[in-house]
Chain A
Amino acid sequence: MPLLSTTDLKVHFPIRGGVFARTAAWCRAVDGVSLSINPGETLGLVGESGCGKTTVGKAVVRLLEPTAGRIEFEKTDITRIPPRQLKPHRRHLQMIFQDPAESLNPRHSVRDILEEPFLIHRLGDRAERRQKVARLLDKVGLPSTAAEKFPFEFSGGQRQRIGIARAIALDPKLIVCDEAVSALDVSVQSQVLNLLLDLQRDLGLSYLFISHNLAVVKHMSDKVAVMYLGKIVELASSEAIYQHPRHAYTKALLAANPVPDPAAARHRVFLDGDVPSPINPPPGCAFGHRMKHPQYDQSLQSNPQLTEISPGHFVQLCACCTPAPATPDVAPPANHE
């Protein structure tokens, strides 16, 4: 039984213009995303900027209102329930943001920041809250003296630890990590990734781990979903995504990932152009359109759908990006060591 599942989730933003601010167009940021996360599991969500991965994360915790589709959390449909009914679920649905400097109130001490979740949910008295804060700081590897300090007194990595402490304050079940380590230096990034792995093991957390860095996502996740222009084009176990990528976009992402080994053989597939705008997405297979694939026209009729090609491995099938039979037209990156 999945902890969280979305069915055909859509989030469209109106583009207003003209004298009366009429809706001139719709930005289809998320256009039919179905995914599920089991307890204790990490689902990675990867894609280029503008593909809608952050919008999915925000919609899942209801920071954005979904346009259509369904979000189920712990067997409850939370897609449209009013704030009062949503509140008890919010405890179990938390988020860690990309930029810890911007997501922590600079005028609040770390104690204020970490006590706020308890105050909002009316949990515990003063003494209990103090105790909880001390325990949280200990869990994320910060000294207890940190409680009286302010966010600016910490380095980026430490600030992200405060963000993590706040997210785990109310014993959540699912944490959406939106580019949680992207702003950190390599040496600090690995410390924070380790912390997230430790917390998952100790607290049985589930993560929706959103990042543009395929290597980081692959390292952190059980399953990986690759998003392109508001849709999932491939979803599989993290090993399968790396070893048997099927969709041309997944292969291109893997190939573009710079490998820290100058002796490694390069199988670079260069993508030209940029991600098209989600305001007027091309019909049919969006990636085939970008690659100007000769078989792109076929996808206009077939309307590519996510299909299970082997147990647990879903691919959006179309003539241009997943030519059948599965010919290895692009070799997966060579294994090092």
Chain B
Amino acid sequence: MPDTPLLDIKGLRVGFDTETGPVVAVDGIDLTLAPGRTLGLVGESGCGKSVTAFSIMRLLPQPHGTILSGQILFNGHDLAAAPLPSLCRLRGREISMIFQEPMTALNPVHPIGRQLAEAVSLHDPAPTAEVRRRCVEMLTRVRIPAPEARMNEYPHQLSGGMRQRIMIAMALINKPKLLIADEPTTALDVTVQAQILRLISDLQKEMGMGVILITHDLGVIAETCDDVAVMYAGRIVERAPVRELFAHPRHAYTRGLLASIPRLDSTPKTRLPAIPGQVAAITDFVEGCRFAQRLGLDPGTTRPPLIEIAPDHWVENFPSMLQAV
């Protein structure tokens, strides 16, 4: 681990005002990411993984979403407390984000060339011809066939995989130091998913950026990430280097998740070891162990602390969640 992490999140708490009162979607999480590394954030819908991503970009829906406490240190600067003008200088240049749905993230009434050029000229007053040259170069990099012609096309004229490659081009055109990819391949076919993931990791090696990859697919995590954080109900329950996590999962939730995926080499038509129950509604979260709450066990009254059980392997310490396999 290098001394200065690229991103260092400390005790981040994010809340939302809802009709039924305030809720805490991200409940005090710590994460670090070194330059050039990929951190996977995995968990079920509603566990707070996307909210974490949006907090880093400070793109929480306003006025309902707020960072309640904690720090998001990016190269030592606290993004959680940064004023808007300095954020605008960072967004799209130092930190970029790829969204899940390329069709909703791209503007349907502008040709993609103009949208790409905007990302460049917002941060760099280069001459138009130079901007265009960079756009075409980036489109070539993400393997868009006939990039010159594509510049004048609209998002609806492209296939899903192609649109996602445009999103990647847009996110990477300013060579950011940090890329946040929020379910970048969930809407895509496996074959296209493989292309996109390879593309992200090739460009990462080339540019040395740090990547946060958010997904619910443990297969994607296993193939692309260096480190993994497993989120459950707004908290990180386990965090480890990827091989360590898959080889020695300690938390009952991580183990349950790994066991419940159908695999190509599993025996067909056999029952899968499913995790019983379901995630509690966000308004019903307890202070104690939230996975124990799902299983109908006594969750205790205090938050289980994270303990380091092996080098860099942290797990939420709740006795009934840590029984030996």
* Interface residues of A, Cβ cutoff 8 Å to B: 42, 48-49, 155-158, 185-191, 193-194, 197-198, 212-216, 218-222, 238-239, 242, 252-264, 266, 268, 270-272, 274-275, 333, 335-337
Contact = CB atoms under 8 A, between A and B. Distances in A.
10 contacts: A186-B260, A197-B269, A215-B262, A239-B268, A255-B194, A258-B220, A259-B264, A262-B246, A263-B243, A274-B159
Contact of B195 (A218, A254, A272): A272
Contacts of B292: none
Contact of A333 (B45, B192, B264): B264
A189 B260 CA distance: 8
A336 B265 contact: yes
A215 B264 contact: yes
B223 A266 contact: yes
Contacts of A256: 190-191, 193-194
Interface in B246-280: 246-247, 256-258, 260-266, 268-276, 278-279
Given A259-B264, A262-B242, A253 B269 contact: no
Contact of B222 (A221, A261, A333, A337): A261
A259 B198 contact: no
A227 to B, nearest CB: 12
Interface of B: 44-45, 143, 159-162, 189-195, 198, 216-223, 242-243, 246-247, 256-258, 260-266, 268-276, 278-279
Most B Cβ at <10 Å: residue of A214, A256, A264, A266 = A256
Given A186-B260, A187-B257, A257-B190, A242 B44 contact: no
Contacts of B279: 155
B269 A42 contact: yes
A272 B191 CA distance: 8
Contact of B246 (A219, A220, A261): A261
Nearest to A224: B268
A188 B260 CA distance: 9
Contacts of B263: 215, 219, 259-260, 336
A213 B185 CA distance: 13
Contacts of B243: 262-263
Contacts of B256: 187
Nearest to A191: B274
Nearest to B263: A215
Given A239-B268, A258-B190, 17 more contacts: A155-B278, A186-B216, A186-B217, A214-B264, A222-B269, A242-B265, A257-B190, A257-B264, A258-B217, A258-B219, A258-B222, A261-B246, A262-B223, A262-B246, A268-B194, A270-B195, A271-B195
Given A155-B278, A253-B191, A260-B218, A185 B223 contact: no
Nearest to A290: B191
A219 B272 contact: yes
Contact of A49 (B189, B217, B219): B189
Contact of A274 (B162, B198, B216, B274): B162
B127 to A, nearest CB: 34
B264 A194 contact: no
Contacts of A239: 268
A64 B242 CA distance: 46
Q: Which 7 A-B pairs have the closest CB atoms?
A: A258-B219, A219-B262, A190-B260, A190-B274, A190-B272, A185-B44, A48-B189
A260 B195 contact: no
A187 B278 CA distance: 8
A242 B269 contact: no
A76 B223 CA distance: 49
Contact of A185 (B159, B216, B222, B246): B216
Contacts of A186: 44, 216-218, 257, 260-261
B143 to A, nearest CB: 8
Contacts of A197: 269-271
A167 B280 CA distance: 27
Given A187-B44, A187-B274, A219-B268, A259 B219 contact: yes
A186 B143 CA distance: 32
Contacts of A242: 264-265
Contacts of B191: 48, 252-253, 256, 271
A267 to B, nearest CB: 12
A119 B109 CA distance: 47
Nearest to A216: B262
Nearest to B278: A155
Contacts of A274: 159, 161-162, 192
A335 B272 CA distance: 19
B264 A260 contact: no
Given A190-B260, A190-B262, A263-B246, A221 B268 contact: yes
Given A260-B222, A260-B246, A262-B223, A194 B272 contact: yes
A259 to B, nearest CB: 6
Nearest to A198: B271
A249 to B, nearest CB: 9
B222 A259 contact: yes
B183 to A, nearest CB: 12
A219 B264 CA distance: 7
Given A197-B271, A261-B246, A270-B195, A253 B262 contact: no
Nearest to A219: B262
B160 A49 contact: yes
A176 B318 CA distance: 43
Residue among A258, A261, A272 with the highest chain B CB neighbour number at 10 A: A258
A155 to B, nearest CB: 6
A254 B191 CA distance: 9
Contacts of A275: 189
Contacts of B246: 260-263
A193 B272 contact: yes
